[in-house]
């Protein structure tokens, strides 16, 4: 059943024990929501804990500073920013989740009560409204958690999902004491030596096709071994080739440990990334999609990219 | 004389011919202000033109699309985002400027009337208020100009000068039709092949000092010749060393054509960049400063940086 922020607030206030569920490979939004809600419930004297199938990444350690999970069995299940039950722990995939607060228009509707706002740039934006309806105090710690979700899901207000409402929500969170400078420095101004080294190696192998309108990079297993960079750390790399002026399709090939290549495609303007990846059994969005390839299929991928380029402008 | 936004609005409305002055080496804020005001005056049937000692960079071409300077001699002089008369054309340095609208707390107070808001992240934030007081229509084109100033002066809302007021101002500009996605993609998501190549070369020569807490890069004249990158294009490079995890002082050395080195220092936390650069006759801010060195003084600069590092954490 679809419910609004006020109803979600009432439902949460009626609980004594809440099991907060974050999605696997957690990002700043699911974790920001989870620890914001944990703090709210904790401050209200309720028992609560946060569960995530893949643990809490070090990168977000500031979100779970001072977090002490309460111990209890069962409890009310609240999934935050979780579009599909497949992103939850095994045991929650088939049992009913009581409440889901989310902003993905693709939400599978798996929860008994769904509070959904597809226009929100982040689930944190919607959760702020829910917390306000709970009449709970929004402490600086809670504001920091919510700010983190907002900032990470919008590339720090750079992506086009940043709406006037998103910016106003961020403004309120700053006024409530969100640690903006610290969060931005940690998440957007810091890279590791290892990642920098990997980027150097990867960009040294940059190749152009389609008269400079396609740029391709390859991340080999050897590079990963040499630099020691882990999978989640290199998320941003696949955005690099598309940033180059004149490039309309950025292709990132990643060697898989078991052989074969994982492809990430990023496009500008009119090129449909999902359609190209679809030809290889993959999919995704208009501007960002992925698929898996055998080494010998790379030529075909490039040919498909070339034929997808709109006529017109070419780099001299 | 210090005046407020309302008085600045009245003053501007009383003019028939306005010569808008942007500062040399113009950035998005001075140009965003200038073309926003030009459009406002033009739409009100006044004569206006924009002057900049160093011309209008290609990178900001979207700001001056459709701009046709009116022809006139003299006129009311309005300097926007110009902290000092030294940043104006020779001929305006000693003649009185009628009005200055600015946000630099260091403003030299050179104009007859000064409308100053040091808490504003960008002069565009203050100019929006002035334009509102003029009761002028804020078209999408004007909103785009003002948004550009706001976004460029805050690193797209990432820097700590981004306040709640800045975010609310940006929210309004989006509602007024600012071309957010286009501006962000042009200014924050695009790099040139040449710049990428220069970054590769520069980062390949990265050196660490102070147990990894100081990172130093050098941009040589040869690199500039080989890649063809121009001075204003490489503004962002001096931020690179400080981004590395564990680095507290980022040092960028730039060979000058006539010999000697231009230093840019960027620091985190407690290190005072202006103090270090002051020892070499330079200066700047707490977290960003500059100076000029002879080749043989680099060792002394590094020694000064090392002694400025706070005791404590060291990178293993």
Q: Which of B164, B184, B185 sits opposite A174 (nearest CB)?
A: B164
Report the pLDDT value the prediction gives residue A251, as an integer from 0 to 100.
Answer: 97
Q: Tell me how far apart the alpha carbons of residues B134 and B41 are, in angstroms, rounded to a whole number.
A: 10
Q: pTM value?
A: 0.89
Query: Residue B284 has what pLDDT?
Result: 81
Q: Do the Cβ atoms of A245 and B188 come within 8 Å?
A: no
User: What percent of chain B clears pLDDT 70, i.e. is strictly above it?
Assistant: 98
| Beta bridge partner(s), residue A18 | A48, A76
Name every chain B residue with its beta carbon within 8 A of the beta carbon of A171.
164-165, 167-168, 171
Q: Cβ–Cβ of A268/B243 closer than 8 Å?
A: no
* Phi, psi for B175 (deg, rounded to 5): -65, -30
Contact check, Cβ <8 Å, A190/B245: yes
CB distance from B68 to chain A under 8 Å?
A: no
Determine whether the interchain pair A164/B158 forms a contact, defined as Cβ–Cβ distance below 8 Å: no
Look at residue B316 and tell me whether its pLDDT is greater than 60: no
Where is pLDDT greater, at A232 or B49? B49
Q: Which positions of chain A have pLDDT values less than 50?
A: 315-316
What is the band of B313 on the pLDDT scale with cuts at 50, 70, 90?
Answer: low
Q: What mean pLDDT is predicted for residues B200-220?
A: 95
Interval B117-121 mean pLDDT: 95
B206 CB neighbours in chain A (<8 A) are: 196
Q: Which whole-number Å values give the CA distances from A197 to A52, A223, A228, in the listed order?
A: 31, 9, 10
User: A77 vs B230, which has greater pLDDT?
Assistant: A77
The CA distance from A28 to A235, in Å, is 13
CA distance A89 to chain B (A): 33
Task: Spell out which residues of chain A touch residue B268, defining contact as CB-CB under 8 Å.
Answer: 185
Q: How far is CA A287 from CA A239, A270, A274, A291, A303, in A?
A: 11, 9, 7, 14, 18
B243 inside 8 A of chain A by CB: yes
pLDDT attached to residue A315: 44
Residue numbers of A between 246 and 265 with CB closer than 8 Å to B: 246
Over 90: is that where the pLDDT of B96 sits? no
CA distance A81 to A30: 5
In chain A, positions 183-212, which contact chain B (CB-CB < 8 Å)? 184-185, 188-193, 196, 200, 203-204, 206, 212
Is the CB of B171 less than 8 angstroms away from the CB of A175? no
Model confidence over A203-261: pLDDT tens digits? 999 999 999 999 999 999 999 999 999 876 787 899 899 999 999 999 999 999 999 99
On average, the pLDDT of chain B sits at: 93
Q: What is the ipTM of this complex?
A: 0.88
Q: Searching chain B, which residue's CA lies closest to the CA of residue A192?
A: B245
What local confidence, expressed as pLDDT, does residue A234 receive?
80
Which tens digits make up the pLDDT trace of B3-40? 999 999 999 999 999 999 999 989 999 999 999 999 99
pLDDT of B228 above 50: yes
Which pLDDT score is estimated for A25?
A: 85
State the smallest CA–CA distance between residue A46 and chain B in angstroms: 32
Taking CA atoms, what residue in B is nearest to A171?
B164
Q: Rounded to a whole number, what is the distance in Å from the CA of B82 to chain A's nearest CA? A: 27
Nearest Cα residue to A248 out of A228, A269, A272, A231: A269
Give residue A109's Cα distance to chain centre.
Answer: 19
What pLDDT, on a 0 to 100 scale, did the predictor assign at position B234? 80
Query: What's phi and psi for B199, nearest 5 deg?
Result: -60, -40
Cβ contacts (< 8 Å) between A181 and chain B: which residues?
160
Please check whether residue B168 touches A, CB under 8 A.
Answer: yes
């Amino acid at each position: 059943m679809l419910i609004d922020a006020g109803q979600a607030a009432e439902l949460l206030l009626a609980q004594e024990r809440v099991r907060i569920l974050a999605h696997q490979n957690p990002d700043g939004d699911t974790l920001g929501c989870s620890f914001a809600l944990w703090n709210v419930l904790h401050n209200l004297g309720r028992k609560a804990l946060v569960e995530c199938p893949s643990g809490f990444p070090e990168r977000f350690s500031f979100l779970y500073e001072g977090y002490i999970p309460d111990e209890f069995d069962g409890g009310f299940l609240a999934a935050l920013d979780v579009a599909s039950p497949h992103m939850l722990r095994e045991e929650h995939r088939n049992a009913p989740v009581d409440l889901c607060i989310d902003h993905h228009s693709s939400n599978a509707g798996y929860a008994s009560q769904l509070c959904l706002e597809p226009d929100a740039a982040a689930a944190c934006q919607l959760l702020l409204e829910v917390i306000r309806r709970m009449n709970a105090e929004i402490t600086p710690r809670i504001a920091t958690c919510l700010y983190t979700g907002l900032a990470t899901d919008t590339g720090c207000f750079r992506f086009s999902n940043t709406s006037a409402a998103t910016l106003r929500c961020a403004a309120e969170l700053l006024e409530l004491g969100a640690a903006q400078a610290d969060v931005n420095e940690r998440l957007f101004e810091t890279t590791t030596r290892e990642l920098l080294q990997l980027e150097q190696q990867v960009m040294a192998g940059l190749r152009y096709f389609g008269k400079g309108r396609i740029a391709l990079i390859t991340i080999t297993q050897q590079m990963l071994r040499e630099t020691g960079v882990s999978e989640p750390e290199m998320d941003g790399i696949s955005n690099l080739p598309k940033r180059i002026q004149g490039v309309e399709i950025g292709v990132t090939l990643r060697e898989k440990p078991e052989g074969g290549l994982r492809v990430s495609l990023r496009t500008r303007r009119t090129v449909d990334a999902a359609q190209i990846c679809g030809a290889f059994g993959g999919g995704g969005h208009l501007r960002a999609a992925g698929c898996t390839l055998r080494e010998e299929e790379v030529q075909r991928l490039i040919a498909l990219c070339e034929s997808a380029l709109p006529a017109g402008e070419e780099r001299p």
